Structure 1
Amino acid sequence: MTLAGKLVSEVEINTPPHRFYKLFKEQIASIPNISPNLIQNVQIHDGDWSKHGHGSIKLWNYTIDNRAEVVKERVEFDDKKLVIRVVGLEGDVFEHYKTFIGTYQVIPKGPNRSGIIFTLEYEKLRDGPPYPQKYHEAMNSLAKDIEAHLK
């Protein structure tokens, strides 16, 4: 039985594509204020806030299922395709997963509308539960919080 998997979904938001993308690329420090129930803190581990860009490493403190967790990740940006890819490096998710990669792809749907495709790729350490639906749902929740903030 395979231990690797991928979850994919899409949501439409009333936010211009470049604003959603820019928030992740240039204003990441504001995320805890935008989604405080999900994200409590984000720190740059390698790089600095003014040069937050491709390859920077961050440490996220978040709450999921009423449990405080931490993840260290490396971010990758594709400015032409409006893709934000976060590659998990270490943290609580690695109690159950060997690899953990989340992707937001921003799809222009009009001047003030965007589609956000969420992809979560993972490889489990063992067969059976847990499956990462709660993390995939958290990606969706964060996008909705960002939409509310950017209106």
Structure 2
Amino acid sequence: MSYAGKVDTDVEIKAPAVKFHEFFSQRPHHLSSISSDKIKGCDLHDGDWGKVGSVVNWNYVHDGKAKVAKVVFDAIDDEKNSITLRVVEGNLLEHYKSFKITVQATPKGEGSVVHWTFEYEKVHGDVTDPHTLLQLAVDLTTDIGAHLTA
């Protein structure tokens, strides 16, 4: 039996889509300075910032607990301001067989709408959908937007 699932949400920010995309794809390591309560560190493990195939280690706080995730940048589309990440190691894989994150920023007026999608397969049916993790993504998006328009 498959326990595949998908959750998504939109976040409106005042920052332009291209600036959000550039920040998240090329400078995610700056998140620890603007969202230090949520992101404790973001380190390049392999490859180059902003390049497909790069591997990044995240140290973050989720549900009040310190967590880690190693992700691969599977796709970066600068025209569509879209990034796809795949979790390859870390706490999430205790509950999910696979976990893919897609974030896309779309221009809206002077700002943008940032759309987050999490696609995953649970290890068993008792695992909850990652709504609190999606809220973390919303909070980070808000922090990035505020930082880019300050």
Question: Fold match, TM over 0.5?
Answer: yes
The unaligned stretches of length 5 or more in structure 2 are none
State the Cα RMSD in Å: 1.2
Number of aligned residue pairs: 148
Deviation at 1:130, TM superposition (A): 2.5
Task: Name the amino acid aligned to 1:94.
Answer: L
1:94-105 alignment, distance < 5 Å: 94-105=93-104
Matched, 1:46 2:46: yes
- 1:78 maps to what in 2? 77
Task: Name the amino acid aligned to 2:103.
Answer: Y
Deviation at 1:31, TM superposition (A): 1.1
Instruction: Find runs of 4+ consecutive structure 1 residues off by over 3 angstroms.
Output: none
Deviation at 1:2, TM superposition (A): 4.1
- 1:123 maps to what in 2? 121
Q: TM-score under structure 2 normalisation? A: 0.93
1:1-151 alignment, distance < 5 Å: 2-49=2-49, 52-75=50-73, 76-110=75-109, 112-151=110-149
Residue aligned with 1:21, SS: helix
Which whole-Å deviations, capped at 9, do the CAs of 1:44-97 have from their partners, x for residues lacking one? 111144xx3111000000011110000000112111211011110010001100
Which whole-Å deviations, capped at 9, do the CAs of 1:88-115 have from their partners, x for residues lacking one? 00100011000111111111112x2101
Task: Name the amino acid aligned to 1:88.
Answer: V
User: More deviation in 122-131 or 36-45?
Assistant: 122-131
Structure 1 CA distance, aligned partners of 2:48 and 2:18? 22
Structure 1 CA distance, aligned partners of 2:62 and 2:54? 24
The unaligned stretches of length 5 or more in structure 1 are none
